[in-house]
Homo-oligomer: A and B are copies of this chain.
Amino acid sequence: MTPQGQRINDKLVAVYNDIVHLEEIEIKKSQFKDLSIKEIHTINAIGMYHRKTSSEVAQALKVTPGTLSVSINNLVRKDYVERLRSDDDHRIIHLGLTRRGRLMYRLHQSFHRQMVQSFLTGLDPQEVTLVEKALDNLQHFLDEHA
């Protein structure tokens, strides 16, 4: 690997830990102190609309159905998420956010918005496209190896 490649690798690793840590800190400063970073990500994966099933959310988060189920139990207890049994197929559970969950969702989105904005600061549109291309490369690599 080139020195620059090594540097980029190291920066990715550093940034990775820092993002998670900062998210954690932001939560503890907010009205949603009772959530962990994992729970925030679960709420984020469920999203604003009552569409996704349990297994879809588990797949998006790359955890087993059992892990998600336990986590959803906690989020239901804390009043962020609700379970909605499908009318068509009673095995299927659709996950939705409560009023409180949607509030949390919007707060976290705004954090991400700020982060992405700073990520792209000082780049012109063409350059932003390049960054997106690099991300697509990476996603392609990940899909290939999965």
Interface set of A (CB-CB < 8 Å, partner B): 1, 4-5, 7-9, 11-22, 25-26, 44, 60-62, 112-123, 125, 127-143, 145-146
Residue of chain B at shortest CB distance from A127: B130
**Cα separation A117 to B5 with both chains bound (whole Å):** 7
Residue of chain B at shortest CB distance from A20: B62
* CB-defined contacts of A112 to chain B, threshold 8 Å: 9, 13
A131 touches B132 (CB 8 A): no
18 contacts between A and B (CB under 8 A): A1-B113, A4-B125, A5-B113, A5-B128, A8-B116, A9-B116, A11-B136, A15-B138, A17-B60, A20-B62, A21-B62, A26-B145, A115-B141, A118-B141, A119-B134, A119-B138, A122-B137, A123-B134
Residue of chain B at shortest CB distance from A19: B142
* CB-defined contacts of A17 to chain B, threshold 8 Å: 60-62
Given A4-B128, A122-B133, A134-B120, A18 contacting B139 (CB threshold 8 A): yes
